[in-house]
Structure 1
Amino acid sequence: TSRDPMQAEIVGIAISPQPYEGYYVPVGHDYLGAPCQLACGEVLEALRGLIESTPPQIIGQNLKYDLIILHRYGLHPTGICFDTMLASHLVQPEERRHNLEKIASSYLNYEMLSYAEVAGKDGSIAAVPIERSTFYAAEDAEIVFRLKAPLEKAMDKAQATKLFQEVELPLVSVLARMERNGILLDKEILAIQGEQIGKELVAIEEDLYEIAGERFNPSSPKQVAEVLFDHLGLSVIERTKTGPSTSARVLARLAAEHPLP
Structure 2
Amino acid sequence: MIETLQWTTLAICALMAVARIPSTLRRENRSLFGIFASMTVAILLSIQGPYLIIDQALGGTNLANLLLRFVIFGAIFFMGLRISKGFGADSVYRLITGRTGLLVLLAVSVVMVALFFSMDTAGSSAGLTAISAKDARHFALVEYYGAAGRAYPAYVALALIPAMVRAVQDRLPILIRIAAGLLAVGGVAVALTLLFPLIPPSMGQIEFIINYTAVLCFVIGLALIWVAKLIRGRTGASRRTSTET
Short-chain TM bin: under 0.3
Which is richer in helix?
Answer: 2
Q: Which of structures 1 and 2 has the larger relative contact order (alpha carbons within 8 angstroms, sep 6+)?
A: 1
* Greater radius of gyration (CA): 1
